[in-house]
Amino acid sequence: MKSFDAFLFEPAELPTFEVAKESHTSHGDVPSLLKWTGSKRSQAARIAAFAPSHERYYEPFIGGGALLFMLGKPGAVGADIYAPLIAFWKLVRDDAERLIDDYTTQWAALQADLPGYFYIVRDRFNADQRPEDLNFLMRTCVNGIVRFSKSGQFNNSFHLSRKGMLPQRFAKIVREWSAHLQGIEFRNGDFQQTTADAQSGDFVYLDPPYAGNKQRYIGDLDVDRFYSVLDELNRRSVKWALSFDGTRGETAYDYSLPAELYKRKELLKSGYSAVAKVLNGPVEMVTESLYLNY
Protein backbone atom coordinates (compact mmCIF):
# COMPACT_ATOMS: atom_id res chain seq x y z
CA MET A 1 0.00 0.00 0.00
CA LYS A 2 1.56 3.22 -1.13
CA SER A 3 1.40 6.02 -3.65
CA PHE A 4 0.65 4.90 -7.18
CA ASP A 5 0.57 8.32 -8.77
CA ALA A 6 -0.36 10.69 -5.96
CA PHE A 7 -3.33 11.14 -3.69
CA LEU A 8 -6.06 13.50 -4.85
CA PHE A 9 -7.58 14.60 -1.58
CA GLU A 10 -8.52 17.85 0.00
CA PRO A 11 -7.84 17.75 3.78
CA ALA A 12 -11.40 16.73 4.65
CA GLU A 13 -11.29 13.83 2.20
CA LEU A 14 -8.25 12.02 3.54
CA PRO A 15 -8.90 8.34 4.22
CA THR A 16 -8.52 7.17 7.79
CA PHE A 17 -6.76 3.96 6.79
CA GLU A 18 -3.16 4.71 5.91
CA VAL A 19 -0.01 2.82 6.73
CA ALA A 20 2.46 4.65 8.92
CA LYS A 21 5.76 5.18 7.16
CA GLU A 22 7.76 3.86 10.06
CA SER A 23 6.84 1.71 13.05
CA HIS A 24 8.81 0.83 16.12
CA THR A 25 10.10 -2.35 14.50
CA SER A 26 13.59 -2.65 13.08
CA HIS A 27 14.18 -1.06 9.68
CA GLY A 28 16.98 -3.48 8.90
CA ASP A 29 19.70 -1.94 6.79
CA VAL A 30 17.56 0.37 4.65
CA PRO A 31 18.65 4.00 5.13
CA SER A 32 15.78 6.50 5.16
CA LEU A 33 16.18 8.59 2.01
CA LEU A 34 12.80 9.66 0.65
CA LYS A 35 9.85 10.10 2.98
CA TRP A 36 6.89 8.51 1.19
CA THR A 37 3.41 7.53 2.29
CA GLY A 38 3.09 3.80 2.85
CA SER A 39 6.84 3.17 2.78
CA LYS A 40 7.80 -0.46 3.34
CA ARG A 41 10.99 0.46 5.21
CA SER A 42 9.73 -1.09 8.45
CA GLN A 43 8.70 -4.29 6.65
CA ALA A 44 11.39 -4.57 3.99
CA ALA A 45 13.41 -7.32 5.64
CA ARG A 46 10.32 -9.43 6.33
CA ILE A 47 8.97 -9.03 2.80
CA ALA A 48 12.39 -9.64 1.23
CA ALA A 49 12.62 -12.90 3.17
CA PHE A 50 9.74 -14.21 1.03
CA ALA A 51 11.48 -13.34 -2.25
CA PRO A 52 12.43 -16.37 -4.35
CA SER A 53 15.74 -16.68 -6.14
CA HIS A 54 15.41 -14.68 -9.34
CA GLU A 55 17.17 -13.12 -12.30
CA ARG A 56 15.71 -9.63 -12.73
CA TYR A 57 13.81 -7.73 -10.04
CA TYR A 58 10.90 -5.39 -10.87
CA GLU A 59 9.14 -2.91 -8.59
CA PRO A 60 6.41 -1.03 -10.54
CA PHE A 61 5.18 1.03 -7.55
CA ILE A 62 8.54 2.16 -6.21
CA GLY A 63 7.61 4.85 -3.66
CA GLY A 64 10.36 5.02 -1.05
CA GLY A 65 12.27 2.14 -2.63
CA ALA A 66 12.90 0.06 0.50
CA LEU A 67 12.49 -3.28 -1.28
CA LEU A 68 14.56 -2.08 -4.22
CA PHE A 69 17.39 -1.31 -1.81
CA MET A 70 17.27 -4.85 -0.45
CA LEU A 71 16.57 -6.82 -3.64
CA GLY A 72 17.81 -4.59 -6.45
CA LYS A 73 21.00 -5.38 -8.34
CA PRO A 74 22.27 -4.21 -11.74
CA GLY A 75 19.52 -4.76 -14.29
CA ALA A 76 16.67 -4.38 -11.78
CA VAL A 77 13.75 -2.10 -12.65
CA GLY A 78 12.21 0.51 -10.36
CA ALA A 79 9.12 2.24 -11.75
CA ASP A 80 6.14 4.45 -11.00
CA ILE A 81 3.50 6.34 -12.93
CA TYR A 82 4.36 9.56 -11.07
CA ALA A 83 7.03 11.25 -13.19
CA PRO A 84 8.60 13.54 -10.51
CA LEU A 85 9.21 10.49 -8.31
CA ILE A 86 11.10 8.69 -11.07
CA ALA A 87 13.04 11.89 -11.81
CA PHE A 88 14.07 11.93 -8.15
CA TRP A 89 15.38 8.37 -8.25
CA LYS A 90 17.31 9.02 -11.44
CA LEU A 91 18.86 12.08 -9.80
CA VAL A 92 20.00 10.02 -6.80
CA ARG A 93 21.56 7.45 -9.10
CA ASP A 94 23.17 9.82 -11.60
CA ASP A 95 23.96 13.07 -9.75
CA ALA A 96 24.04 12.57 -6.00
CA GLU A 97 26.15 15.66 -5.36
CA ARG A 98 23.65 17.90 -7.13
CA LEU A 99 20.86 16.61 -4.88
CA ILE A 100 23.03 17.02 -1.78
CA ASP A 101 24.02 20.59 -2.68
CA ASP A 102 20.42 21.52 -3.41
CA TYR A 103 19.14 20.08 -0.13
CA THR A 104 21.91 21.79 1.85
CA THR A 105 20.97 25.15 0.33
CA GLN A 106 17.25 24.63 0.86
CA TRP A 107 17.71 23.40 4.42
CA ALA A 108 19.63 26.58 5.31
CA ALA A 109 16.93 28.73 3.67
CA LEU A 110 14.26 26.97 5.71
CA GLN A 111 16.06 27.59 9.00
CA ALA A 112 16.19 31.30 8.12
CA ASP A 113 12.50 31.47 7.18
CA LEU A 114 10.28 29.05 9.08
CA PRO A 115 7.77 28.11 7.75
CA GLY A 116 7.63 30.64 4.90
CA TYR A 117 10.32 29.00 2.80
CA PHE A 118 8.42 25.70 2.75
CA TYR A 119 5.49 27.36 1.00
CA ILE A 120 7.78 29.07 -1.50
CA VAL A 121 9.12 25.64 -2.45
CA ARG A 122 5.64 24.14 -2.54
CA ASP A 123 4.48 26.79 -5.01
CA ARG A 124 7.58 26.26 -7.11
CA PHE A 125 7.10 22.50 -7.18
CA ASN A 126 3.50 22.89 -8.27
CA ALA A 127 4.76 25.04 -11.16
CA ASP A 128 7.69 22.98 -12.44
CA GLN A 129 7.85 19.70 -10.42
CA ARG A 130 11.60 19.71 -9.80
CA PRO A 131 12.65 16.41 -8.18
CA GLU A 132 14.88 18.32 -5.74
CA ASP A 133 11.81 20.19 -4.50
CA LEU A 134 9.81 16.97 -4.16
CA ASN A 135 12.57 15.64 -1.92
CA PHE A 136 12.56 18.80 0.21
CA LEU A 137 8.77 18.81 0.58
CA MET A 138 8.60 15.15 1.57
CA ARG A 139 11.33 15.74 4.16
CA THR A 140 9.47 18.64 5.77
CA CYS A 141 5.70 18.20 5.22
CA VAL A 142 3.28 16.84 7.81
CA ASN A 143 4.14 13.18 8.49
CA GLY A 144 5.65 12.81 5.02
CA ILE A 145 2.15 12.25 3.62
CA VAL A 146 1.80 12.61 -0.15
CA ARG A 147 -1.29 14.76 -0.57
CA PHE A 148 -2.60 16.57 -3.63
CA SER A 149 -5.67 18.71 -4.28
CA LYS A 150 -8.29 17.76 -6.85
CA SER A 151 -6.52 20.05 -9.31
CA GLY A 152 -3.28 18.11 -8.86
CA GLN A 153 -1.48 20.62 -6.62
CA PHE A 154 0.72 19.37 -3.78
CA ASN A 155 -1.13 20.75 -0.75
CA ASN A 156 0.30 19.19 2.39
CA SER A 157 1.49 21.67 5.02
CA PHE A 158 4.77 22.27 6.82
CA HIS A 159 5.43 19.99 9.77
CA LEU A 160 6.15 22.51 12.52
CA SER A 161 8.31 20.11 14.51
CA ARG A 162 10.21 18.83 11.46
CA LYS A 163 12.92 21.22 10.33
CA GLY A 164 14.54 18.72 8.00
CA MET A 165 17.32 16.17 8.33
CA LEU A 166 20.75 17.70 8.95
CA PRO A 167 22.55 18.12 5.61
CA GLN A 168 25.57 16.07 6.74
CA ARG A 169 23.40 13.08 7.54
CA PHE A 170 21.38 13.51 4.36
CA ALA A 171 24.57 13.58 2.27
CA LYS A 172 25.77 10.31 3.78
CA ILE A 173 22.47 8.59 3.04
CA VAL A 174 22.26 9.90 -0.53
CA ARG A 175 25.77 8.70 -1.34
CA GLU A 176 25.00 5.27 0.09
CA TRP A 177 21.85 5.01 -2.00
CA SER A 178 23.57 6.34 -5.12
CA ALA A 179 26.25 3.66 -4.94
CA HIS A 180 23.55 1.04 -4.43
CA LEU A 181 21.51 2.21 -7.44
CA GLN A 182 24.22 1.96 -10.07
CA GLY A 183 22.98 -0.30 -12.85
CA ILE A 184 19.34 0.01 -11.75
CA GLU A 185 16.89 1.05 -14.48
CA PHE A 186 14.11 3.52 -13.68
CA ARG A 187 10.95 3.68 -15.76
CA ASN A 188 8.04 6.12 -15.77
CA GLY A 189 4.84 4.28 -16.62
CA ASP A 190 2.02 2.21 -15.19
CA PHE A 191 2.30 -1.28 -13.74
CA GLN A 192 1.47 -3.00 -17.02
CA GLN A 193 3.89 -1.02 -19.16
CA THR A 194 6.80 -1.31 -16.74
CA THR A 195 6.55 -5.08 -16.26
CA ALA A 196 5.81 -5.97 -19.90
CA ASP A 197 9.24 -7.53 -20.45
CA ALA A 198 9.32 -9.56 -17.21
CA GLN A 199 9.80 -13.24 -17.98
CA SER A 200 10.24 -16.62 -16.35
CA GLY A 201 12.96 -16.43 -13.73
CA ASP A 202 12.20 -12.79 -12.86
CA PHE A 203 10.50 -11.53 -9.68
CA VAL A 204 8.01 -8.67 -9.37
CA TYR A 205 7.05 -6.98 -6.10
CA LEU A 206 3.85 -4.93 -6.34
CA ASP A 207 2.71 -2.41 -3.75
CA PRO A 208 -0.26 -0.54 -5.28
CA PRO A 209 -2.12 2.21 -3.43
CA TYR A 210 -4.92 0.46 -1.63
CA ALA A 211 -6.56 1.52 1.60
CA GLY A 212 -10.04 0.05 1.54
CA ASN A 213 -11.21 3.12 -0.37
CA LYS A 214 -11.15 3.22 -4.18
CA GLN A 215 -11.44 7.03 -4.11
CA ARG A 216 -7.81 7.12 -3.03
CA TYR A 217 -6.52 6.80 -6.58
CA ILE A 218 -5.82 9.44 -9.18
CA GLY A 219 -8.14 8.39 -11.97
CA ASP A 220 -8.83 5.19 -9.97
CA LEU A 221 -6.86 1.99 -10.23
CA ASP A 222 -8.55 -0.31 -12.72
CA VAL A 223 -8.68 -3.36 -10.47
CA ASP A 224 -9.86 -5.70 -13.21
CA ARG A 225 -6.96 -4.59 -15.41
CA PHE A 226 -4.59 -5.01 -12.48
CA TYR A 227 -5.84 -8.57 -11.94
CA SER A 228 -5.40 -9.20 -15.66
CA VAL A 229 -1.75 -8.16 -15.41
CA LEU A 230 -1.23 -10.53 -12.48
CA ASP A 231 -2.80 -13.30 -14.53
CA GLU A 232 -0.52 -12.49 -17.46
CA LEU A 233 2.53 -12.63 -15.17
CA ASN A 234 1.34 -16.06 -14.05
CA ARG A 235 1.02 -17.18 -17.67
CA ARG A 236 4.60 -16.05 -18.31
CA SER A 237 5.77 -17.95 -15.19
CA VAL A 238 6.89 -14.72 -13.53
CA LYS A 239 6.92 -14.95 -9.74
CA TRP A 240 5.37 -12.05 -7.86
CA ALA A 241 4.54 -10.85 -4.36
CA LEU A 242 1.74 -8.36 -3.74
CA SER A 243 1.09 -6.08 -0.74
CA PHE A 244 -2.56 -5.20 -1.11
CA ASP A 245 -5.35 -5.24 1.45
CA GLY A 246 -5.28 -5.76 5.20
CA THR A 247 -6.77 -4.67 8.52
CA ARG A 248 -6.88 -1.62 10.75
CA GLY A 249 -7.65 -2.47 14.33
CA GLU A 250 -10.65 -4.81 14.22
CA THR A 251 -11.71 -3.69 10.74
CA ALA A 252 -10.83 -5.82 7.72
CA TYR A 253 -10.21 -4.21 4.32
CA ASP A 254 -10.39 -7.25 2.07
CA TYR A 255 -10.59 -6.68 -1.68
CA SER A 256 -11.08 -10.39 -2.34
CA LEU A 257 -8.15 -10.99 -4.64
CA PRO A 258 -9.24 -13.87 -6.92
CA ALA A 259 -8.00 -17.09 -5.34
CA GLU A 260 -6.83 -18.51 -8.65
CA LEU A 261 -4.23 -15.75 -8.99
CA TYR A 262 -2.12 -16.64 -5.94
CA LYS A 263 -0.96 -19.64 -3.93
CA ARG A 264 -0.60 -18.28 -0.41
CA LYS A 265 -1.24 -15.25 1.77
CA GLU A 266 0.83 -13.93 4.67
CA LEU A 267 -0.15 -11.23 7.20
CA LEU A 268 2.46 -8.67 8.25
CA LYS A 269 2.12 -5.99 10.92
CA SER A 270 3.09 -2.63 9.43
CA GLY A 271 2.70 -0.07 12.22
CA TYR A 272 0.03 2.46 13.07
CA SER A 273 -2.27 4.68 11.02
CA ALA A 274 -0.34 7.83 10.06
CA VAL A 275 -3.31 9.69 8.60
CA ALA A 276 -5.39 8.90 11.67
CA LYS A 277 -2.73 10.65 13.75
CA VAL A 278 -2.95 13.73 11.54
CA LEU A 279 -6.75 13.83 11.80
CA ASN A 280 -6.71 13.12 15.56
CA GLY A 281 -8.63 9.92 14.97
CA PRO A 282 -8.09 6.56 16.67
CA VAL A 283 -4.56 5.23 16.26
CA GLU A 284 -4.83 1.53 15.45
CA MET A 285 -2.48 -1.23 14.39
CA VAL A 286 -2.39 -1.81 10.63
CA THR A 287 -1.78 -5.28 9.21
CA GLU A 288 -1.13 -5.82 5.50
CA SER A 289 -1.64 -8.90 3.38
CA LEU A 290 1.23 -10.25 1.30
CA TYR A 291 0.02 -12.44 -1.56
CA LEU A 292 2.44 -14.81 -3.31
CA ASN A 293 1.94 -16.73 -6.56
CA TYR A 294 4.54 -19.34 -5.57
Measured in degrees and rounded to the nearest 5, phi and psi for residue 255 equal: -90, 5
80 is in an annotated binding site: yes
239 is in an annotated binding site: no
Helical axes 83-94 vs 131-140, angle rounded to 10°: 100
Helix segments in 49-204, DSSP class H: 66-71, 83-94, 96-112, 116-128, 131-140, 167-181, 191-194
Of the candidates 246, 244, 254, the one whose C-alpha atom is nearest the C-alpha of residue 272 is: 246
207 is in an annotated binding site: yes
Task: Tell how far CA 123 is from the center of its chain.
Answer: 23
Number of helices (H) and strands (E) in the chain: give both, helices first.
10, 8
Task: Tell how far CA 256 is from the center of its chain.
Answer: 23
95 is in an annotated binding site: no
C-alpha 236/C-alpha 249 separation (Å) is 37
* 242: three-class secondary structure by DSSP: strand
Instruction: Quickly count: other Cβ atoms within 10 Å of residue 109's Cβ.
Output: 16
Report the binding-site residues: 36, 40, 80, 207
Report the binding-site residues for S-adenosyl-L-methionine: 36, 40, 80, 207
